[in-house]
Structure 1
Amino acid sequence: MNKPLLAALAGLVITGAGVAPAAAAAPAGNTGAAPAARAVTFAGTVALSNCSGSVVRFPGSEDDDPALVMSNGHCLETGFPAPGEVVVDRASSRTFGLLNASGTRVATLRASKIAYATMTDTDVALYQLTTTYAQIRSAYGIGALTLNDTRPAAGSAITVVSGYWKRTYACSIDGFAYLLKEGDWTWKDSVRYTPACDTVGGTSGSPVVDNATGRVVAVNNTGNEDGQRCTVNNPCEVDASGTVTVRPGINYAQQTYRIPACFGLDNKLDLSRAGCVLPKP
């Protein structure tokens, strides 16, 4: 896993706050050209004590809904959920450092509970905050990142935005792993990055932003560090026929497009909703 920050990374040089450049605009009058990509900034991302994350909303969220922070299940303050374990509506007072576009910490946000977390099939944690989206925007001028509710495509240009390191990684979706196995955990349909996204410890939980839409399509979570096969910090890919592939140095994320279907009115978790396929307790 791009696990909670390692002591070995203490000497890592942290890059300055970065912004991914927007793609060149289409020539005037060329109505058939694709729209220019949006600049990706740190606005709405957060720093956890050991990981990265972001304030997120769903396409149907309202401004007066309690805001949510997304990170990894393996970033929980209570430790890694066991295989098959699903955490729902557990009280939490965890804090998050909210960043503005340039990567400056402008506020401390606080959770009221862990709305949902697991490391089964996916690796995600969603914290409900004590503040609404409207309150955050009014106080700090920062909006939430929206989770896309459609599956991303291979070849899409993406940016991984780490609130912990205040660093961005730009690359593309290389493809998808049918199963990704790491130690005792198995994740389904994981995003595989091209090599340019060489994420490190502390980037766990970073939002993966589609450059074309500005929406979140995945949450960064792991990479094969040492070339080992299916061990902790060395995930392996398993295809539908059971063939195992090890890709040393390659990093991965978990898709998030299925999450919005599991939340209803007032951002309330409802795992019984039609279309919700997240693992249940």
Structure 2
Amino acid sequence: MIKRVAGTLFATLAIGALTVTPAQAVQADFTGIVALSNCSGSVVRPPAARDTDPALVMSNGHCVKFMGANEVIRNQTSSRTFTLLNGAGDNLGTLRATKLAYATMKDTDVSFYQLSQTYAQIQSQYGARALELSTTHPAQGANIQVVSGYWKRIYSCKIDGFAYQLKEDVWTWRDSVRYTSACNTIGGTSGSPVIDTSSGKVVAINNTGNESGGRCTLNNPCEVSQSGQITVRRGINYGQEVYNIPACIGTGNQFNLTASGCTLPR
């Protein structure tokens, strides 16, 4: 299912940040994680971001609203608030968005809010740093953790493989990450970062799963192969890759969808 909590469309978001050393194997905590009233999310930064850039919060597009199949939102004023979490999942304070920088449910399911505070200001005030977005395609068999701020719960499993297309109701997502069954995510885990434990970087964003064995319907996504074959995997959950997103974020953490290497829908 699309893994937000029903009936709470515009809600308060909780935020934090993760300190990682790429050479280490990482066991995630709730540093770098945010909790919305209907979803989860995280404070993230692309590798080229500066400490003085306004910070970004990443969640799902469907955590903004159930968007049209081809809808893209850019630079929409927003004052959505976010409650910062520490490593134990306790509230540290409130952050506020200035705009919804980007959101879509076309090809992927992602939203980015730009905050009124910079990474440096969040670090100084709360001692929290952002999760880094990966720029490489995730690997089959990699150990991952899906970290939900809404439930304050961490799911550990592996990447089982990839779906050429994942279809759910009117939406189609491309090259989606399929988890092994141990990541049995539920409503409220939408927008959770998917962290590769070998690098500590965010490789995907959790968004859906097949709830009852339905075929390509709401709450029951199906996989579609390059040849058009449809596969239904009841109880299996999915995320959307993020490695292509940093190429779309330029100076000052501003989205530039015409930048070289950017493949996000416009």
Same fold (TM over 0.5): yes
Cα distance in 2 for partners of 1:41, 1:249 equals: 25
Cα-to-partner distance string for 1:167-202 (whole Å, 9 max, x where unaligned): 000000000000000000000000000000000000
Equivalent in the alignment of 2:176: 190
Aligned-residue CA RMSD (Å): 1.2
2:9 is aligned with 1:3: no
Cα distance in 2 for partners of 1:98, 1:235 equals: 32
**Alignment match of 1:213 (pick from 177, 199, 203):** 199
Cα-to-partner distance string for 1:29-62 (whole Å, 9 max, x where unaligned): xxxxxx6512211101111121000000000000
Cα distance in 1 for partners of 2:223, 2:265 equals: 21
Structure 2 counterpart of 1:151, one-letter code: H
Instruction: Kindly tell me the number of residue pairs found equivalent between the two proteins.
Output: 252
How do 1:3-42 residues align onto structure 2 when only pairs under 5 Å count? 3-6=3-6, 36-42=24-30
**Alignment match of 2:44 (pick from 56, 67, 71):** 56
**Alignment match of 2:238 (pick from 237, 252, 265):** 252
2:79 is aligned with 1:93: yes
Q: Which consecutive residues of structure 1, in runs of 5 or more, have no partner in the other structure?
A: 8-34
2:141 is aligned with 1:155: yes
Equivalent in the alignment of 1:25: none
The answer to whether the 8 Å contact 1:70/1:126 transfers is: yes
**Alignment match of 2:60 (pick from 72, 78, 94):** 72
Tell me the percent identity. Answer: 63
The answer to whether the 8 Å contact 1:2/1:202 transfers is: no
2:137 is aligned with 1:134: no
Equivalent in the alignment of 2:222: 236
- SS of 1:137's partner is helix
TM-superposed CA distance for 1:2, in Å, is 3.4
The answer to whether the 8 Å contact 1:58/1:147 transfers is: yes
The answer to whether the 8 Å contact 1:51/1:75 transfers is: yes
TM-score (norm 2): 0.93
Cα distance in 2 for partners of 1:207, 1:107 equals: 20
- SS of 2:189's partner is coil
Cα-to-partner distance string for 1:191-224 (whole Å, 9 max, x where unaligned): 0000000000000000000000100000000000
Structure 2 counterpart of 1:256, one-letter code: V
**Alignment match of 1:107 (pick from 71, 93, 102):** 93
Q: Which moved more, 1:154-163 or 1:42-51?
A: 42-51
Structure number with larger C-alpha Rg: 1
Cα distance in 1 for partners of 2:84, 2:201 equals: 18
Equivalent in the alignment of 2:11: none
Cα distance in 2 for partners of 1:179, 1:38 equals: 30
Cα distance in 1 for partners of 2:106, 2:137 equals: 19
TM-superposed CA distance for 1:225, in Å, is 0.2
Cα distance in 2 for partners of 1:2, 1:143 equals: 28
TM-superposed CA distance for 1:6, in Å, is 4.0
The answer to whether the 8 Å contact 1:2/1:199 transfers is: no
Cα distance in 2 for partners of 1:195, 1:126 equals: 28
TM-score (norm 1): 0.88
Cα distance in 2 for partners of 1:85, 1:149 equals: 25
TM-superposed CA distance for 1:75, in Å, is 0.2
The answer to whether the 8 Å contact 2:24/2:199 transfers is: no
Cα-to-partner distance string for 1:125-158 (whole Å, 9 max, x where unaligned): 0000010000000000010000001111000000
- SS of 2:121's partner is helix
Cα distance in 1 for partners of 2:123, 2:244 equals: 26
Cα distance in 2 for partners of 1:197, 1:82 equals: 28
- SS of 1:261's partner is helix
The answer to whether the 8 Å contact 1:56/1:144 transfers is: yes
**Alignment match of 2:33 (pick from 13, 23, 45):** 45
2:246 is aligned with 1:263: no
